[in-house]
Every structure is written in C-alpha cells, then in structure tokens.
Structure 1
Amino acid sequence: MNAAELPAAHEAQRLQCLADLGLSGPPASAEPDAVLDGLVRCAAHLLGFPIALVSLVGAQRVWFKARYGTELADGDRDTAFSSHALQAEGLFEVPDALADPRFADSPWVTGANPEHLRLRAYAGLPLQLDGVTLGALGVADTVPRRLDAVQATLLTDLAAAVNAWFSHRREHVELLASRADLQDRAELLLSLSRETPGMLFQYRKPPGQKGSLSFISGQADQVLGALPPLQPPSLHAYLARCHPDDLQGLLRCMSAAAAAHQPWQHLFRVCLPDSAAPGWRSAHASPSRLADGTLLWHGFIADVDEHVEIETLRRDKLAAERASAEKSAFLSRASHELRTPLNAVLGFSQLLLMDDEPLSARQRERLEWVQGSARRLHELVDGLLDLDRAEHRRGSAPHGPAGGALTLLYIEDEPLNTLLVQEALRDRPEWRVLHAADGLGGLALARSERPEVVLADINLPGISGLDVVHALRADATLARTLCIALSADATPAQIDRAMAAGFDDYWTKPTDVLELAGRLADALARHGGR
C-alpha cells in the first residue's frame, strides 16, 4: 500500500493547516529550531536509536523540520515511513522493513538515497494540531528492532511536546499577523491624519488615574504650535497655548461634558509662540468608555481663523445694514418733521409778499431774509436726503457672492463627517454652513437661522433625524425647507421611513465631497430655488 492510497477525507484541511503555519515545504535556507532539535536529540538518546526525525507530510513530499543522525532534508511521500504514520491512531512501528512488503523496495531501505541509508526499523507517532495530523515524530535504525513499553511511553511524551510546539507556532504566526495588521492600521491612520486639515487626538483617562494624550496627529504643530524639543505632548502643555481669557470657559466646557458623558464643542483663541496675534481654534470631542472603565475622548481641533474672519465680516455687514436702516428711518422722520414747518414758513412768507396790503421796505426786506433762510434750510434737508440716497445705492450694490449666500444646516454628531462637509463647501462662497451636533440643537438653529437646506443624519443623540424633519414640516415657517437625509443606512426600509417622515431626498454615505456642491445645487433647483 502506498501513501497515495491513504484516506484523504481531511487532506485539504491538513495541507491548509500546514500552509497557515508556514510549514508547507522546506525553507529556502536552513531555519534551526532549538526546541525541535532538542526533542529529536532526546528521542534518539533516550530510545537508543541512531536517527530521529520530525517529519511533515506535504502533498507530494515529506520534509524534516528537525532531524538527528542524518542530513537528508526531504524525500518522496509515497516511500516515506512517516507518510504511512498519518493514518495511525497511535504508535506506527515497522520492526523489519525488509520483511514488510510496503517498504522492502523503498529507497530508504535499499540504500537508493543520497546518504545510502539502509533503514530496517522505524517507530513513529502522528503529530496533530486540534485533531489535524500534520506529520510524525519517528526514530529509525539500520537493524531490525522493536520499542519496549518504556520506550513507547517516552516517544509518546516527546510527541506531545512536539504537538505543543505546533500550538505555540500557531500562536506565534497569529501574533505576527496581528502585529502586521496593527502596523498597517497605524500607517493608514498616520497617512490619513497627515492629510487631515486639523489635529486629531485621543485622550485616555483610566479610573482613578491621571489622563494622558495617547495619540495626536502630525498636524498638531500647525494647529497648536510646536512644543519645545524635550517637552512631551500633554494636555497641560497644549492648554497652556489657550488665550488666558478663554481658558476657563474651555475647561468648564470639557468638565461639564465629562460629567455628563456627552460630546463637547468649543471655540477659543490660542497664543502661539511665532504669532503676533491670537488665532481662533474650534475643538470637538466625543467620549467612549472601555470595559475597564477607561474613558476615551476622540476629538479634532481645527484652525478656523478664516471662518471667524468671514463670520466677523458677516456680522459687521449686518450691523452696518442695521445702522444704515436706522439712519434712513431717522432721516425720514427728520425730513417729515423739518419739511412740515418749512413748508409753512415758505408758504406764508410768500403770501405776505404777495398780499395786497402794502409792506414797508423794511418789512419786505425782513420777509425776504426769512424766505431766503427757509430756502437754505430746505436745501440742507434735501442735501442730507440725497446723501442718504447715494449711500443706499452704494449699499445695495452687489458685495460678491457672500451677499447672496445660501445657508446649509448640517445636523451630524460625528465631527469627522461634519469636517468633510465644511471642507467640501469651504471654497464655495455661495454656501454658508451651520452645524449642530444633535437633533434638538439642529431644530433650534433652524428656527433662528431659517436655512434654505437642512442636511441631517438619521441616528442622532436625543431625537432622531426622522423626528427633526417631522418637527420642521409641522412649523409653518419652515415647512417648505429642502430637507435631505444623509445616512450610512442604505436599506430600502430605512429609506422608505425617511421619505415618509418628510425628507425630500435621501443620500447615503460615504459622501463624494467633490460632487457635494453640485448635488446641493441640483436638489435646490428641483425643489424650486430659494
């Protein structure tokens, strides 16, 4: 019977197990293993055999992971003793190979092998990992012989040690794979963080211990300034960069969020070493708790100087428009109050000059003085009104795209998703982006700002996006607002629920930031414009 006729029900599983362990065949270069080399040496000396082998049986060949008493590395599977040991439930023994028709013609017995070995006796035990047979631990001699009971027991114990080596080998391989996966993830995170226009961070706070920054992205130096060479990154070091007037407010915000286990968001100024003026920063962070009670904060800090400047200009523009409107109202009232008596003065002075009753030269001169002064006062009033009209014409001229900006309210509790939308529309002056991190906050902002478009996640803290759109449709002043759902749930049932709740459209994540502005414009056009 040759090895090709052995039962093969588990052959694919057995070969896959060898492959997973990295033991499908001999390595390109020698890989000595101190444990297995020691075990085969012990097997030879304890049992008194000149040759001991840890044989692994592949699809076509048998190779020796550890060997003692021979330099042969492998051999043909069909003629190897160990390939026959695969089917044995216990000890597989060949007392005299020349008298055994299975091996009498084997090159291992006849000497037709590179070392001209002429083996006469073999004893081996199958090696297994979780019930899968991978090979055999065997001893061989050039003279016929059998194992006694003590020798069989010793070989069994040594085989168990080799089986344990296989278990450790699998753990090692899995550990290497896990380490490689972690390394790949770390490199991916580092690459993404370098491309993110802001500082990503993770803050770890174990129970009863001080917290620490366990991760900061490579943009930290640009956002919060480089720390001295010997100073390690820490929360205290970065808080020292906060403007003194804003520090207490930031600390109160963080403390309240930690106590309530809720996300926090804050706008504050920083004083950087190389900057003459303070800069504005926006910070967002969300908490999560580990099984051991450790609190993790994952957050993002962005440079918002440009956004603050634009918002300041917008507020200044609104203030100037309000002041201009108030001035126009004052001049309107002043014109009315001044023109009414001026009309009487001019009219009655003219009547007096036209009266049939003669006036003395002195009286006529004085009336002409009154009439002339009234005309000059009238010209002054007209001049003020002409100036106001000119300023109104200049003020009503176009101020660029921002003057007609559309307002987009994005309701989303994940800071990175919010950042993507903000960045996608940053260079789009026709859009003004507002953000709310929960449903109730989004409703409040919608009622105060009256946005043209509401873009909302479905799963939000507090109330859901479905509740938000239902409330908007129930508000007469907001009922016609364009409402778009933006969610990672693309199941038909969820889409049907969203459309039934009142959404005008349903978009699924991930969002193509390059197409966002165009999609919003198309949706608004279909909706009927502003």
Structure 2
Amino acid sequence: MRAHELPANEAERLQCLAELGLSQPPAQPEPDAVLDGLVRCAAHLLGYPIALISLVGERRMWFKARYGTEVVDCEREASFCAHTILGETLFEVPDATTDPRFATSPWVIGATRLRSYAGLPIRLGNLTLGALCVGDTVPRRLDAVQATLLADIANAVGAWFAHRREHVDLLASRTHLQAQAELLGRLSSETPGMLFQYRSAPGYGGELGFISGQAEHVFGPMAPLQLQGLRAFAERVHPEDLPGLLRTMREAEADQQAWQRLFRVCLPDAERPAWRSGRASPSLQADGGVLWHGFIADVDEHIEIENLRRDKFAAEQASAAKSAFLSRASHELRTPLNAVIGFSQLLLLSHEEPLTPRQQERIEWVLDSAKRLHQLVDGLLDVDRAEPGRPSRFDAGAEADDAFTLLYIEDEPLNTLLVQEALRDRPDWRVLHAGDGRAGLALAKTQKPVVVLTDINLPGLSGLDVVRELRADAALAGTLCIALSADATPGQIERAMQAGFDDYWTKPLDILELAGRLADALARHGGR
C-alpha cells in the first residue's frame, strides 16, 4: 500500500492500539470467549466458511479472533482489511481474482484460495482499529439481510473494544491511585504530624476519609472504631480550647475559607496538656457537603521553646533593668558619701587649722557613720567590693625627684576638690583637672600625664570613650588609666576593663590611701 492510502488519523489509531496492548499478537495468545463467539456467529449466520476480527498495526495485521483458518497474522499491504479501515462502510470484494488490487495476494493465490471478502470497520470513537470480516473460496456478495447482520455483529465487537478501553483506563487509574496512596503513606509516615481528610456534617456526624499514621502520636492511642469519627478526637482536645476550635471550624465552613488554630490536647497518662497546631482547607462538593483536607502538627516542643525564649528575654530585661537601677543607685548614693568621707578625713589631717579634741571626736563620729553607711549601701546593692588593683596595705611608694602629673577628669566639683586637697601636701604629685571628656583629652595631649584618673559618667564623651581614644593615640597609648566611679556594679567594671582601663576604683574614695594606691598602681604599671 502507498502512504496516501493510510487513514488520516493513523498516528492516533496506532497509539490507541498500543494503549490497549493490541499492537501485535501476544506471545501466548489466550482465547476470548466473547470475540470467538461473535466470529462463529458471523460465519454461521452469513453462511461463510471464514470469519475474522482483525487488528491492523503499522506493518502487520493480526487476528484477535478467527474462525475457519489457522492464519494468525499477515503483512498489512497484502490484506483486505487494510482497505476496509480506510472507510466507514461495508467494503466488499465479490471476486478477488478479477480485482487487480488482490489478484496476486497470498490470500488469493495461497493455500486459503480466498475469492470473496466482505468487511466492516471496527470503530472506537473516531478511530478504526481493525475490521470484522467474512470470506469464502467462491465468488459471492452479501444480500441486504446479511449486510445488516454483519453490521450488528460489528457493533457488538466495537462495544467489546469500548469495554476494553474502559477496563484499561480503570486499571491505569487504579495503578495511579495505588502509587499515590503508597506515596502518601510514605510521606505521611515521615511527616511530623497528622494528615487528614474529613467530610463535615452537623455535630460530630462527619466522616473521616483519611488519617495518616501519625494520628496516634498527635492524639494518643485510640481504638480502630474511634478513628472513624470526629468525636473521639474532639474528646482529646482540652475542654478550654474545644469551643474556640469548633467555632473556628464552623466560621471557616460558613465562609468557605481555610482555618488555622493552636489548641491543646489531653493525652492519656500525660502530666500536662500538649500543644497542637491545626489547619485545613475546604472543598465544596456537588451534593452540598464540604470536604476538608488538613494537617495537625505536634508543636508542643516549639511552644515550650518559645515560652523559654520569652521567659529568658523577660529575665534578661529584668536583669538589665536591675543592673541599670544598681548602676544609678550606686552612683547617686556613693557620690555624696565620697565627699562626706573624704572631707572628714581632710579635716582630721588638717595641720593648718587643727581641730579641738571635741571637734575631732565629732568628725570621727561622722566618718565612722559614713563608713558604716558605705558598707550598708554595698550590701543593699549586692556589690562585690573586691575592686581591681586595691592594695593589701598602705604604701606611699617611692618619691621621684620630679613631680608626677595626674590628670583628673571629673564633672563633680566636690570630688575634684577632694582629690586636689588629698594630694595638696604631696610635692611628688601635680594635679590637673578637666571637667569633661573632650577637655580631658586635649589636656592629655599637651601635658602628657603619667596617670589619667577619670570618672565614667561624664558629660559628652564618657570615660570609656576617653580611654579608647587614649589607647588609639600612639603618644598616649601607654598612659596609666584608672577609672574612678560611683558605679560599683560588676557589669560596669567589666566594660571599663574591656575598654582599656588599667584599674577600676570605686567611690567613696579613701583619701588616706590615695597616694599609696597611686604609687602602687604606678609600680605595677611600670613593671609590665
């Protein structure tokens, strides 16, 4: 046959044969009682010795059912049925020996000695798969009744192939569904939560269509019958959370919107309720019902972590507030004590205007009370009084021929006066003063002091910033820097030491030890 004698939808026709598994004869043909009965009926009803149901493949034609011949298949080009499938009506050859298309066909000149042929196409939808045909070894034609009978049988054969199509599609769909079910089973077993499908109904009368294997983990052990309804799950929800959960589900169903909610469940033998997170999306069905697909996750550990994180944050905030309070309280309480203790000591040491015994006794009472108040403040504020660099004994240190320059940066005039008075009678010390951080840095660059003694809470530039800039200046990086602050909290001391201070002293300052502590600090600093 030439290419133009192929059906217009040849590719689709061959594809359909392949999908039905009918492109070629099976290695082990199995008789089909229905088709075998139909070809037998065709032969006897029409009085033909040969009746066949053929399927025309790309190059060969084979017989799905046959009667009166042992031939299984043949070349497509040599077949009568290849012509039958080109049309939609009866194709008949009364005498093949006189028809140039078939005079040399193996069916005509071979052992079969076929002389006459009549066939109708077998159609499945708009596709022709093959033919139902009858043949005889003598020339003949079908009469009108015979043609009608052949058409009826051809329709029955077509119905068989339609059923075959449905059967193949059903098997493919079932295989696909089984594969999806297996995949869903694997995924649900590995998903840390419960997948579910639920058809809603009034009350608890809904139907659970699917529940993944994690249901027992999410809601606890349940009897198999319990898994068929919603009531068993609802009974596991915490009584305080159940009304809100049901209200959320009802509102979502009324609005045809997805719902999501946190709730607690009461598991058997559990010490406390466990947190769960549920969500589901609705799908309105043709009968008016609502099908929900959802997921319920075990979020108990996540909630606990969030609670711990929140508690930790609150504790840190409280600790920061406490530290800020202690820092402020320490500064506000110690600053006036510094002046009281310091000036009391100066009065006791004054040689220019010596005190009377009675005055000296009263000043000692003031000094003793101030020191006890100092101890009370430290205890009240829970301050560690072990200050860095505090000497274990009084040591005035070795005096140099030239006076040491001390730069004191302090914005409180009384504190400044106290340090100046404490070192006024010490020729080995020269005291410079700056009232803020910027002025102190300027003096340090011009005077090159041996020691920089600075408060922390300064206007403008803080004491921490001052020491950082000193350390960044090559000419001043080695200067002995000591913090003198009323803030005695450990956090402030740590920040100061990290900023670059060599030592940290706290107020109130014992002026009797000031010179000795300076000498001790210089000795340690010079020994580095």
TM-score (norm 2): 0.62
- The equivalent position to 2:226 in structure 1, one of 220, 223, 231, is 231
Partner Cα separation in structure 2 for residue 389 and residue 37 of structure 1:
107
For 1:26, the aligned partner's letter is P
Deviation at 1:54, TM superposition (A): 0.8
Residues 144 and 5 of structure 1, relative CA distance in 2, 3 Å threshold: farther
User: Does 2:33 correspond to 1:37?
Assistant: no
User: Does 2:178 correspond to 1:180?
Assistant: no
Deviation at 1:24, TM superposition (A): 1.1
User: Does 2:199 correspond to 1:204?
Assistant: yes
User: Does 2:185 correspond to 1:190?
Assistant: yes
Partner Cα separation in structure 2 for residue 149 and residue 279 of structure 1:
82
- Conserved? CA contact 1:227–1:233, under 8 Å: no
- The equivalent position to 1:153 in structure 2, one of 145, 148, 158, is 148
Partner Cα separation in structure 1 for residue 195 and residue 493 of structure 2:
45
- Conserved? CA contact 1:207–1:294, under 8 Å: no
Partner Cα separation in structure 1 for residue 117 and residue 31 of structure 2:
24
Residues 43 and 6 of structure 1, relative CA distance in 2, 3 Å threshold: farther
- Conserved? CA contact 2:6–2:86, under 8 Å: no
- Partner residue of 2:310? 315
Provide, for residues 83-114 of structure 1, a one-character-per-residue CA deviation record: whole Å limited to 9, x for no partner: 232345532223344444444443333443xx
Provide, for residues 122-181 of structure 1, a one-character-per-residue CA deviation record: whole Å limited to 9, x for no partner: 222222233433221111233333322211111122122222333333333333333333
The more displaced of 228-237 and 19-28 is: 228-237
Residues 146 and 365 of structure 1, relative CA distance in 2, 3 Å threshold: same
SS in 2 for 1:36: helix
Written as runs of structure 1 = structure 2, the 5 A alignment for 1:429-448 is none
- The equivalent position to 1:305 in structure 2, one of 297, 300, 304, is 300
- Partner residue of 1:21? 20
- Partner residue of 2:454? none
Deviation at 1:53, TM superposition (A): 0.9
Q: Which runs of 5+ in 2 are unaligned?
A: 385-486, 496-528
- Conserved? CA contact 1:44–1:52, under 8 Å: yes
Larger Rg: 2
Partner Cα separation in structure 1 for residue 202 and residue 233 of structure 2:
23
For 1:68, the aligned partner's letter is Y
The more displaced of 229-238 and 149-158 is: 229-238
Partner Cα separation in structure 1 for residue 85 and residue 254 of structure 2:
63
- Conserved? CA contact 2:330–2:488, under 8 Å: no
Q: How many residue pairs get matched?
A: 388
The more displaced of 317-326 and 134-143 is: 317-326
- Partner residue of 2:6? 8
Partner Cα separation in structure 2 for residue 78 and residue 347 of structure 1:
126
- Partner residue of 1:452? none
Partner Cα separation in structure 2 for residue 260 and residue 96 of structure 1:
75
- Conserved? CA contact 2:194–2:215, under 8 Å: yes
- Conserved? CA contact 1:55–1:137, under 8 Å: yes
- The equivalent position to 2:235 in structure 1, one of 232, 240, 243, is 240
Query: Taking every aligned residue pair, what percent have the same amino acid on both sides?
Result: 67
Partner Cα separation in structure 2 for residue 198 and residue 323 of structure 1:
37
- Partner residue of 1:477? none
For 1:267, the aligned partner's letter is L
- Partner residue of 2:60? 61
Residues 302 and 90 of structure 1, relative CA distance in 2, 3 Å threshold: closer
Provide, for residues 374-429 of structure 1, a one-character-per-residue CA deviation record: whole Å limited to 9, x for no partner: 42122120233325965647999xxxxxxxxxxxxxxxxxxxxxxxxxxxxxxxxx
- Partner residue of 1:381? 377
Deviation at 1:324, TM superposition (A): 2.7
Deviation at 1:247, TM superposition (A): 3.0
Written as runs of structure 1 = structure 2, the 5 A alignment for 1:362-381 is 371-381=367-377
Written as runs of structure 1 = structure 2, the 5 A alignment for 1:226-375 is 226-273=221-268, 275-328=270-323, 331=326, 371-375=367-371
Residues 244 and 132 of structure 1, relative CA distance in 2, 3 Å threshold: closer
SS in 2 for 1:231: helix
Deviation at 1:44, TM superposition (A): 1.6
Residues 374 and 53 of structure 1, relative CA distance in 2, 3 Å threshold: same
For 1:77, the aligned partner's letter is R
Partner Cα separation in structure 2 for residue 197 and residue 366 of structure 1:
78
- Conserved? CA contact 2:327–2:488, under 8 Å: no
Structure of greater relative contact order (alpha carbons < 8 Å, 6+ residues apart): 2
- Conserved? CA contact 2:279–2:295, under 8 Å: yes
TM-score (norm 1): 0.62
Provide, for residues 326-368 of structure 1, a one-character-per-residue CA deviation record: whole Å limited to 9, x for no partner: 43465567657866997898799889989989666xx987875
- The equivalent position to 2:208 in structure 1, one of 207, 210, 213, is 213
Partner Cα separation in structure 2 for residue 48 and residue 208 of structure 1:
70
Written as runs of structure 1 = structure 2, the 5 A alignment for 1:398-437 is none
- Conserved? CA contact 2:94–2:141, under 8 Å: yes
Deviation at 1:14, TM superposition (A): 3.1
Written as runs of structure 1 = structure 2, the 5 A alignment for 1:87-106 is 87-106=86-105
- Conserved? CA contact 1:206–1:293, under 8 Å: no
- Conserved? CA contact 1:203–1:297, under 8 Å: yes
Residues 322 and 106 of structure 1, relative CA distance in 2, 3 Å threshold: closer
Q: Which runs of 5+ in 1 are unaligned?
A: 397-530
Residues 359 and 282 of structure 1, relative CA distance in 2, 3 Å threshold: same
- Conserved? CA contact 1:6–1:87, under 8 Å: no
Deviation at 1:188, TM superposition (A): 3.0
SS in 1 for 2:78: coil
Provide, for residues 294-341 of structure 1, a one-character-per-residue CA deviation record: whole Å limited to 9, x for no partner: 323332222223322221222212222333344346556765786699
- Conserved? CA contact 1:198–1:219, under 8 Å: yes
- Conserved? CA contact 2:282–2:293, under 8 Å: yes
For 2:263, the aligned partner's letter is F
Residues 74 and 344 of structure 1, relative CA distance in 2, 3 Å threshold: closer
SS in 1 for 2:236: coil
For 2:72, the aligned partner's letter is A
Partner Cα separation in structure 2 for residue 80 and residue 337 of structure 1:
115
Provide, for residues 207-238 of structure 1, a one-character-per-residue CA deviation record: whole Å limited to 9, x for no partner: 99932332233333333333235532543222
- Conserved? CA contact 1:52–1:68, under 8 Å: yes
For 2:378, the aligned partner's letter is D
SS in 1 for 2:311: helix
Deviation at 1:30, TM superposition (A): 1.9
SS in 2 for 1:146: coil
Provide, for residues 186-221 of structure 1, a one-character-per-residue CA deviation record: whole Å limited to 9, x for no partner: 333333333333222232226999323322333333
Partner Cα separation in structure 2 for residue 30 and residue 6 of structure 1:
33
Residues 26 and 371 of structure 1, relative CA distance in 2, 3 Å threshold: same
